[in-house]
Amino acid sequence: MSIVSRLDSFRKQFVKNKFLFFMALAIMVWYVIFRYIPYYWNLIAFKEFSYAKGFWGSPWIGFGNFKALFQDALFLRVLRNTLVISALKIGIGFPFPILLALFLNEVFSRTYRKTIQTITFIPFFISWVIYASIMYAILSPSVGMLNVLIEKLGGKGIYFLASEAWFRPLLVASEITKNSGYFAVIYMAALAGVDQEIYEAAICDGANLFQRIWHVTLPGIASVITILFILRLGQLLTVGFEQVYILYSPMVYDVGDVIETFNYRQGILGGRFAYTTAIGLFKSAIGFVLVLGSNAVLKKLTEYGLW
């Protein structure tokens, strides 16, 4: 198709759907103003920012802030923590809503299914502040329900939120209990699109429950799983600021201090804006490479991908 005919086709499309184009235009303008134009100010990451000289006058130092980043002993620790916690959340947390959706899909009792779905979905709408309060009430070493139970059974109470051994498992567990219901709904929606005749054919062929799940259900939602997995990998260096900030304390910095909390302390509280912009750019670059890389790999393996 020549350029002229393409333009002609676009013109016809535009005339036909002009209102849709105008609606899209508003969104594009929003993106340009709030997402693309601010990119320019990322250049501060390559400057030695001075309050006196401002953004324009501060001297250019190339990769100086990035070098400082990798010489900062605390940054290397938060990078390690971020990777470990994120890997745990992906490794354990990512399959959980899939399993929940599969379970709910197989439950015959509508009332039971709706009840479970509602119970698992509600925590998603509770803020981390409230959720943390509930966790304190359960895990408190002096009055927490769990510790009371442990002591009644003859054990010794555990200061869960101040324990290096328990902090990461608690982050993963709280993430799963809070967000699994929400993601399960996405998989449930995908499951609704799987052709029922394939199930019937599988039953006729003598497939048991697990064989039906393995050979029919999972392939049926594989594209959704793949897309969500790629997007999740792009967030590998994003653990969730609110969750960690509310739950952590200096007692667990060694295992729980992550890039986002480090960035908050250095940037917002400490005023080191150039340094923390460099951290942000580093995070984005890693996320970008991971999305591209995982998309390419998964496309080869599963034929599904983002584009």
Partner 1 sequence: MKKSKILLVSLCLFFLAAMMLSATGGQEMETVTLRWMWLPEAMGDFENGPFVAALQEKFPEVNFQWEPLLYSAYKEKFPVLMASGDLPDIYRTNAQSYLPQLVDGNLAAPLDDVLAKVGKDIVGNARDGHLAFGQYGGKQYAIAGSYSLKYFAQNIRMDWLDNLGLAVPVTLDEFREVARSFTFSDPDNNGKDDTYGTAFRQNINFIDSWFHAFGVAPNHHQIGIWRVRGGKHTNDWVQPEMKEALMNLADMYEEGVIHPESLTFDWNQWWGAYLQNKIGMWYHQPRRLSEMNSSLKKAGVADAKMWPIAPPKGPYGQGTSDEGQPWGVFFSGASKHLEKAVEVYNYTYTQEFFLKAKGEIDYAFAPKELNEKGWPVYYTYEEALSDPDYEERRKEVLYSSIGTGWTLENPNMTNTWPDRDLAKHVYQQFQNTLGGAQIEGNELADKWAVTSSKAVPVPADAKYFVNLQAMFREIATKIVSGKDANQVWNEWLAFYKANGGPEIEQQVNELIPVK
Residues of this chain that bind partner 1 (CB under 8 A): 49-52, 54, 72-74, 140-142, 159, 161-162, 249-251, 253-254, 265-273
* 133 vs 208, beta carbon nearer partner 1: 133
* 141 vs 305, beta carbon nearer partner 1: 141
Structure tokens at 299: 């496309």
Contact 168, 258 (CB under 8 A): no
* 117 vs 263, beta carbon nearer partner 1: 263
Q: Could you identify the residue written with the tokens 């969500």?
A: 228
* 78 vs 298, beta carbon nearer partner 1: 78
Phi, psi dihedrals of residue 272, rounded to the nearest 5°: -90, 75
Which DSSP helix (H) or strand (E) runs through 281? helix 273-302
> Min. distance of Cβ 213 from partner 1 in angstroms?
43
> Min. distance of Cβ 173 from partner 1 in angstroms?
18
DSSP 215: I
* 158 vs 194, beta carbon nearer partner 1: 158
Of residues 215, 216, 228, the one with CA closest to residue 184 = 228
> Min. distance of Cβ 197 from partner 1 in angstroms?
56
> Min. distance of Cβ 183 from partner 1 in angstroms?
30
Separation of first and last alpha carbons in the chain: 22
* 221 vs 244, beta carbon nearer partner 1: 244
> Min. distance of Cβ 270 from partner 1 in angstroms?
4
Of residues 305, 98, 134, the one with CA closest to residue 221 = 98
> Min. distance of Cβ 158 from partner 1 in angstroms?
11
* 95 vs 267, beta carbon nearer partner 1: 267
* 15 vs 129, beta carbon nearer partner 1: 129
Contact 176, 85 (CB under 8 A): no
Q: Could you identify the residue written with the tokens 């599969």?
A: 102
In Å, what is the CA distance from 114 to each residue of 104, 107, 169, 180?
9, 10, 29, 15
Structure tokens at 287: 């996320």
> Min. distance of Cβ 142 from partner 1 in angstroms?
6
Core vs surface per residue 103-117: b (16+ CB within 10 A) or e: ebbeeeeeeebeebb
Structure tokens at 243: 């969750």
> Min. distance of Cβ 32 from partner 1 in angstroms?
22
